[in-house]
Structure 1
Amino acid sequence: MLTSGQTKNVPEQAEDKMTTPQIDESLRAKIMEEPAAILDDRDLMNALIAANDREIGANVVDLRGIAMERLEARLDRLEDTHRSVIAAAYENLAGTNQVHRAVLRMLDPLDFEAFLRDLGGEVADTLGVDHMRLVLETVQTDDDPAVGRLGDVLRIVPPGYCNQYADGGRGAPPRQVTLRQVQQGEPSIYGDAGAYVRSEACLRLNFGPGRLPGMLVMGAEDPHQFTPQHGTDLLGFFAGVFERTMRRYLD
């Protein structure tokens, strides 16, 4: 038979057993020293929550755990969106710097021949395009020998050609910048190199009152470099600078 003193000591022994640390003392001391490290470790917290769920039993629904899982899923989506926004911002900044460098290079030449040479060379390389063509409308139908001496960048076409080419002959409302994917480039614009063109940007140019319009065509062998889903603000800015630069050669 147990004495009254012995009966009193039973719960104390059980309590001592529950409070006795079951982990290594050095590890416990480290956790007690930096408890925030556990809270910041998502995998470790998930493991602790899972251990607690096993202790609760299968017949108990942990609404708090369900809410935490949904919050974690929402946080993951927010983090993915945040990374996408940051990546897009860096891409836009890189594109802006790229266009600015191309504009500065375009302003350097002092004569039209050097201007065209740089346009098809360093300006095109800075913008990362494979082919650059300047298309000018004119009422002159005969081949001018001077045009051939200006290199492969310049194309002379009849009036109305630029609008028809840019909108694909659909008669759509004119846009300054048209981006599209193509099966191959137009031979009259790219020559033999058109066989390798898979996307292009058409920048319509307005040279002022009394002058026929023009067009700057950028061709790329990458089918994803110019697509209708891409923004056109930077190319629109480049076209505006190009128009103003060309006017000094047309005066």
Structure 2
Amino acid sequence: MDGSQGDLLEAFREGPRLEPAAVRRFLSDNPEFLTGDDGLLDELGLKVAQGVSGGNVVEFAPAAMARIHAAHQQEATQRQQLEETARANFSAQAQTHGAVVDLLEARNHSDLARRVNELAQQRFGLAAGVIALETDTHSPAGWKMLVEGQVDMILGGDQRLARMGFAPTALGLFGDRAEEIASMAMVRMAIWEPSRQGLLAFGSADPEGFTQDMGSELVAFLARVVERTAERWPILS
């Protein structure tokens, strides 16, 4: 070990008193300490530049460049995912706003149920859309009739407001299309005064169409629109 290397090692032994400026000055005065140590160059991701007089210039090694490229690719992928999510959210909101206009143009309860099913299929690419009502007499034309307490049973809990994902207890809502349904989005409704319990349900043929970790805000918004629209017309007792 020559004197310069000994000086640097001694400085490291002294611990906290070693300053970056001192290391910089040492490497500037003794470049061969770095350029002559292949192991250290590999650890730092550097290599001696080829074709340079004196061999005292170092450049990034391929491994270092690969790390930079990988980081760039990861950043680009994350940015692309964010952009795709933003576009999907914007599209969903635009379709929901269009669906609201369709629902508000309903002429009666039967037409409202028809429009819910049509917007489910045509606007959202789903298998079906259903309006259901708990009643001990009869439900409006086109609506699914439920017995008292069935909304709680379908949603899986007393006064639970929404349920996303697959629920076997909800398959009956979709009638002859039940076999196609692999996931559902369902929101509780309260219609008329005194209120009657109801349900707005959408069914998808895709098992991942609706999952438990999805938010129910847009479906709940549509449920509120259906509630207010249905209340335009009285229900016959």
Which AA in structure 1 matches 2:128? H
Two-structure CA RMSD over aligned residues (Å): 3.2
Name the structure with the higher strand share.
2
Residue 185 (structure 2) pairs with residue 201 (structure 1): yes
In the alignment, structure 2 segments of 5+ residues that lack a partner are: 1-45
Identity %: 22
In structure 2, what is the equivalent of residue 174 of structure 1? 160
Do the aligned residues in 2 keep the contact of 1:184 with 1:197 (CA within 8 Å)? no
Query: TM-score normalized by structure 1?
Result: 0.63
Which AA in structure 2 matches 1:193? R
In structure 1, what is the equivalent of residue 128 of structure 2? 131
Q: 1:184 to 1:172 in 2, by over 3 A?
A: closer
TM-aligned CA deviation for residue 70 of structure 1: 2.9
In structure 1, what is the equivalent of residue 116 of structure 2? 119
Among 203, 219, 234, which residue is 1:219 paired with?
A: 203
Query: TM-score normalized by structure 2?
Result: 0.66
Residue 70 (structure 2) pairs with residue 73 (structure 1): yes
Aligned residue pairs: how many? 186
Q: 1:67 to 1:118 in 2, by over 3 A?
A: same
Residue 219 (structure 2) pairs with residue 239 (structure 1): no
In the alignment, structure 1 segments of 5+ residues that lack a partner are: 1-49
Q: 1:173 to 1:111 in 2, by over 3 A?
A: closer
Which AA in structure 1 matches 2:75? L
Which deviations, in whole Å up to 9, do the C-alpha atoms of 1:11-70 show, x marking residues without a partner?
A: xxxxxxxxxxxxxxxxxxxxxxxxxxxxxxxxxxxxxxx9986668xxx9x674455443
TM-aligned CA deviation for residue 238 of structure 1: 1.5
In structure 2, what is the equivalent of residue 161 of structure 1? 150
In structure 2, what is the equivalent of residue 104 of structure 1? 101
TM-aligned CA deviation for residue 119 of structure 1: 2.3
Which deviations, in whole Å up to 9, do the C-alpha atoms of 1:68-109 show, x marking residues without a partner?
A: 443332222111100000011111111111111111111112
Which deviations, in whole Å up to 9, do the C-alpha atoms of 1:168-210 show, x marking residues without a partner?
A: xxx37613x3110357962x31223211211111111122652
Question: In the aligned structure 2, how far is the partner of 1:183 from the partner of 1:174?
Answer: 17
Question: In the aligned structure 2, how far is the partner of 1:164 from the partner of 1:184?
Answer: 7
Query: What SS class does the counterpart of residue 213 from structure 1 fall into?
Result: strand
Which deviations, in whole Å up to 9, do the C-alpha atoms of 1:100-143 show, x marking residues without a partner?
A: 11111111122222222222234542232211111101133xxx
Question: In the aligned structure 2, how far is the partner of 1:165 from the partner of 1:54?
Answer: 73
After alignment, is 197-206 or 239-248 more displaced?
239-248
Which AA in structure 2 matches 1:248? R
Query: What SS class does the counterpart of residue 164 from structure 1 fall into?
Result: helix
Question: In the aligned structure 2, how far is the partner of 1:214 from the partner of 1:185?
Answer: 13
In structure 2, what is the equivalent of residue 83 of structure 1? 80
